[in-house]
């Protein structure tokens, strides 16, 4: 009974916070520009009220997507006392000072496959921010950016927790590193997505720690957030439990 009462209380607090946000109060939101080599990366930093350093989550777009799709997740996190940085990776959204990613481009575009350095730059920004607790930072990736954040972790050190939406390009090296990274991973896919069957099977065979969520349908990456409106809250709850 105590657990149920506490859960209801936290839900009510989150609802009140979201109502305050809708009325234009309770959060501080800032447009930020980060440097990654010669790239200028544009993002939105959202900081909820706090008397001490905040946990934070970095959110990365899917190919041909942008940071705007993460607005609801950012608010759900803020309602739980977690800051967030919604970022357009190189070639996407507003981060196009050196070019824009074109879907189907051949050969494989460096505007996608060199983005692990962008992930590291954004992670470093959060861990050094005066309002952020650098020991409590998570990362959310979608489709190709799931592999980019995994590669950044292998090269530069892992964040404290990861959520991946439909990581269709997730490599065997990244799959093998999930458990050895020593941090929690949540994989979210649609049941009938193309290209994800083999990756899911490899993760189930290889990892003893990965958590998986499968939702009905064929939606890919951040399209899952739009097709399943409760998913943002589910992800926020999962992250909050692991970043506190």
- Residue 9's pLDDT is 47
pLDDT (tens digit per residue) in 130-142: 999 999 999 999 9
Q: Which residue has the higher pLDDT, 6 or 153?
A: 153
Task: State the residue range of the domain holding 191.
Answer: 32-243
Q: So what's the pLDDT on residue 14?
A: 53
Domain contains 152? yes
**Residues in Cβ contact with 111 at an 8 Å cutoff, skipping those fewer than 6 apart:** 90, 91, 92, 99, 100, 101, 105
**Which token pair is 169?**
């390009």
- 2 within a domain of the structure (yes/no): no
pLDDT in tens, 174-228: 999 999 999 999 999 999 998 899 999 999 999 999 999 999 999 999 999 999 9
Residue at 18 is within a domain: no
Q: Is residue 48 part of a domain?
A: yes
| Burial state string for 64-76 with b = 16 or more CB within 10 A and e = fewer than 16 | ebbbebbbbbbbb
The span from the CA of 108 to the CA of 222, in Å, is 22
Residue 4 covered by a domain: no
Residue 9 lies in a domain: no
Look up residue 100 and give its two tokens.
């824009």
Asked if residue 21 is part of any domain, the answer here is no
Asked if 85 and 60 count as a contact pair (C-beta separation under 8 A), the reply is no
Residue 98 domain-assigned (yes or no):
yes
Overall domain count for the chain: 1
Q: At 65, which CATH number?
A: 3.40.50.1820
Cα separation, 68 vs 83, whole angstroms: 16
Mean of all residue pLDDT scores within the chain: 90
């Amino acid at each position: 009974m105590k657990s149920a009462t506490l859960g209801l209380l936290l839900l009510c607090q989150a609802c009140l916070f979201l109502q305050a946000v809708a009325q234009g109060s309770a959060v501080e939101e800032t447009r930020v520009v980060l440097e990654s080599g010669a790239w200028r990366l544009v993002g939105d930093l959202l900081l909820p009220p706090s008397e001490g350093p905040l946990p934070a989550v970095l959110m990365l777009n899917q190919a041909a997507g942008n940071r705007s799709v993460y607005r609801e997740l950012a608010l759900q996190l803020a309602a739980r006392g977690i800051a967030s940085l919604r970022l357009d990776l190189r070639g996407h959204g507003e981060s196009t000072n050196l070019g824009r990613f074109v879907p189907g481009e051949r050969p494989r575009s460096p505007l996608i496959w060199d983005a692990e350095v962008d992930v590291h730059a954004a992670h470093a920004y959060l861990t050094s921010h005066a309002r952020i607790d650098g020991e409590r930072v998570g990362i959310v990736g979608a489709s190709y950016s799931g592999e980019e954040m995994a590669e950044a972790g292998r090269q530069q050190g892992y964040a404290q927790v990861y959520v991946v939406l439909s990581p269709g390009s997730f490599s065997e090296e990244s799959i093998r590193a999930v458990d050895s990274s020593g941090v929690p991973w949540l994989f979210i896919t649609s049941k009938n997505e193309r290209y994800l069957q083999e990756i899911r099977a490899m993760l189930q065979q290889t990892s003893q720690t990965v958590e998986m969520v499968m939702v009905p349908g064929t939606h890919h990456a951040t399209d899952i957030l739009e097709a399943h409106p409760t998913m943002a809250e589910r992800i926020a709850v999962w992250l909050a439990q692991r970043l506190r």
